[in-house]
Amino acid sequence: MREVIAIRVPPGCLRSAPVREYELSEPVDEALMHRLAEGGTLQYFPTFPRPLFRIDRPQEFCTQGIVGSPVLRVTFSPSSDAGTREALRLALGGGTAEGEEG
Amino acid sequence: MVYLNHAATTHPRPPEVVSAVVAALSSAPVHPGRGAGGQDPLTEARLALAELLDVDGAERIALLPSATYALNLAIAGLAPQPGDHVVTTRLEHNSVLRPLAHAAAAGRLRVSYVSPDRLGRVSTADVERAIEPRTRLVAVTHVGNATGCIQPIREIAAVAAQKGVALLVDASQSAGVLPLGHRSLPGRVFVAFAGHKSLLGPPGVGGLVLADDRLPQGVVGGTGIRSEEPLHPPELPLRHEAGTPDVPAAAGLAAGVRLVLARGVAEEGARRGRLAIRLRSRLAATAGVSLSPELEPDPRAGIVAFRLAGWTPGDVGDALLRSFDIEVRAGLHCAPLVHDPLGTAPLGTVRASIGWSTTEADVDALAGAVDALAGGGA
């Protein structure tokens, strides 16, 4: 079963940006991509060298990733809260929460 | 991979550099005073750098662990008294801004920041206006690392010299791409450089071109000579070099600088400029792309910064790397003050930086990928 195994602050020089990398136990597939996009807008680039998707869930988060990769990049909206993060974690199958060891 | 992050560090290293590092690691130690003698990579690096930067004497080049170390050493030594004043610019890297901020926070000096215009350039007149009676130092980058904009250091040197103020030039982005001509710069001019960018060397070595032998010493200790004396030798270049040096890094730097000299600085700047123009024109034709700065009349540094509407710079960088295997850099580029004047705060830009190995195919690959991202997907 897919679940979150790590949540990281991605490397970079912007500590203030609310960006996290979610690493899952299994790669993202199109079914998960469409599920995450419910209630938001999906941009999908299936013909790219590695198929990229972007999902914008207003007031919650914007996420992007590669179909076939287990890593999601998530930028939380300034109006998001702990509930948003928990809902995302559950949508990804549960597992590690932010601040826990993966 | 398409590597367009040469302003951070060059990649791949030329084979001559790799061979020189391996040879130095594989050979018996040769540092004067500490080993058996033979060819000394530190002296070789100094000689090659003196030729490249047109320095009057190789002993005026102190080899240090990095440009950051060199900038810290110079700033601490050139504005040491409480109440001293320093003029710098909003273009600077944190390797200048943070040493100044620490000294200011400790009450040791005051700092004035000159803003660039919308083309990313500071004006010499603004620098001159910022100089006060207690100004001891003007610290300015030769090329803004976030923008690629070339600064008028010759004119600024003339102003600083006329006012009797030392000038510290951060040549981290320009050394190896633009001529420096240290010998002909008027006044008391210090130049910090990084070895691992356009000088093609390995990380772990940079340095400081010294205007004279009066800069106070920072780190002191073993030098391998005159061990019976209680004080560190005062003469150049050992005055500023303490501890066992990174000989393999110096060997790699020497090899890199020799390559730069063989390729020709003017030729390399012109080549990078052509590639930057090609990339800028392709990006400018892409819907949603805004270049920063919008115009660049002298793109020899080979840095092209941009944003894409609807995307954060970080998301663009992530998409380019993960989907297209193109490495650029996204964010503030450790130059946090430049983004307000250029209108790219708070998230910064995507920065593509061209290096010795960059080809037309590389910049075309980036332009095509950004065009595809701008297309919006299915």
What would the pLDDT profile of B341-353 be if each residue is shown by its tens digit?
A: 999 999 999 999 9
The answer, yes or no, to whether the previous bond of B80 is cis (omega within 30 of 0) is no
Residue A37 φ/ψ region, left for φ over 0, alpha for ψ in the -120 to 50 degree band, beta for the rest: alpha
Q: What are the backbone dihedrals phi and psi of residue B136, each rounded to the nearest 5 degrees, phi first?
A: -110, -20
Q: Which of B315, B331, B373 sits opposite A13 (nearest CB)?
A: B331
- Higher-confidence position of B34 and B308: B308
B308, B370 in Cβ contact below 8 A?
yes
Of B307, B355, B297, which Cα lies nearest the Cα of B331? Answer: B307
Q: Which of B314, B318, B373 sits opposite A17 (nearest CB)?
A: B314
Mutate to test the interface with A, among B323, B324, B334 (most CBs of A within 10 A): B323
Asked if B197 is an interface residue toward chain A (Cβ–Cβ < 8 A), one would say no
Q: Could you tell me what percent of chain B has a pLDDT over 90? A: 92
Mean pLDDT of all residues in chain A? 90
ipTM score of complex: 0.93
Which token pair is B279?
A: 């990339």
The whole-number average pLDDT for the span A1-27 is 85
- pLDDT tens digits, one per residue of B152-194: 999 999 999 999 999 999 999 999 999 999 999 999 999 999 9
Of B104, B109, B111, B65, which Cα lies nearest the Cα of B87? Answer: B111
Q: Where are the beta strands (DSSP E) in chain B?
A: 2-3, 61-64, 84-89, 109-114, 135-141, 166-170, 189-194, 206-209, 289-291, 303-308, 326-327, 329-331, 349-353
pLDDT at B35: 57
pLDDT of residue A17 exceeding 90, the answer is no
Query: Pairing between strand A52-57 and B329-331?
Result: unpaired
- How far is B332 from chain A, CA to nearest CA, in Å? 7
pLDDT of residue A1 exceeding 90, the answer is no
- How far is B233 from chain A, CA to nearest CA, in Å? 39
Whether residues A48 and B325 touch (CB distance < 8 A) is answered with no
The whole-number average pLDDT for the span B268-280 is 98
B194, B46 in Cβ contact below 8 A?
no
Q: Which residues of B217-229 are buried (b: 16+ CB within 10 A; e: fewer)?
A: bbeeeebbeeeee
Contacts of B58 (CB under 8 A, 6+ apart): B43, B46, B47, B49, B50, B237
Rounded Cα–Cα distance for residues A62 and B128 (Å):
47
Q: Which of B314, B325, B378 sits opposite A12 (nearest CB)?
A: B314
The whole-number average pLDDT for the span B63-83 is 96
pLDDT at A100: 61
Confidence of residue A101 (pLDDT cuts 50, 70, 90): very low
- Residues 29-88 of chain A with CB under 8 A from chain B are 43-46, 48-54, 62, 64-66, 69, 71, 73, 75
Confidence of residue B378 (pLDDT cuts 50, 70, 90): low
pLDDT at A102: 42
The answer, yes or no, to whether the previous bond of B293 is cis (omega within 30 of 0) is yes
The whole-number average pLDDT for the span B107-113 is 96
- pLDDT tens digits, one per residue of B7-26: 999 999 999 999 999 999 99
B208, B76 in Cβ contact below 8 A?
no
Residues of A in contact with B376 (CB under 8 A): 43
Q: Which of A12, A16, A69 sits opposite B322 (nearest CB)?
A: A69
pLDDT at B297: 85
- pLDDT tens digits, one per residue of B30-54: 766 565 555 789 999 999 999 999 9
Asked if A19 is an interface residue toward chain B (Cβ–Cβ < 8 A), one would say yes
Confidence of residue B249 (pLDDT cuts 50, 70, 90): very high
- pLDDT tens digits, one per residue of A42-66: 999 999 999 999 999 999 999 999 9
Residues of B in contact with A69 (CB under 8 A): 322
Rounded Cα–Cα distance for residues B87 and B92 (Å):
11
In terms of Cβ atoms closer than 10 Å to its own Cβ (0-12, 13-18, 19+), residue A65 is buried
- Residues 303-322 of chain B with CB under 8 A from chain A are 312, 314-315, 318-319, 322
Whether residues B332 and A13 touch (CB distance < 8 A) is answered with yes
Whether residues A75 and B332 touch (CB distance < 8 A) is answered with no
Q: Tokens 């690629």 correspond to what residue?
A: B148
pLDDT at B99: 98
User: What DSSP assignment string belongs to B133-182?
Assistant: TTEEEEEEESB-TTT-PBP-HHHHHHHHHHHT-EEEEE-TTTBTTB---G
pLDDT at B32: 63
First and final CA of chain A: distance in angstroms?
16
User: What DSSP assignment string belongs to A19-70?
Assistant: EEEEEESS---HHHHHHHHTTSEEEEETTSSS-EEEEEETTTEEEEEETT-S
Mean pLDDT of all residues in chain B? 95
Confidence of residue A10 (pLDDT cuts 50, 70, 90): confident
pLDDT at B224: 85
Greatest mean pLDDT range, A1-15, A87-101, B23-37, B362-376: B362-376
Residues of B in contact with A13 (CB under 8 A): 331-334
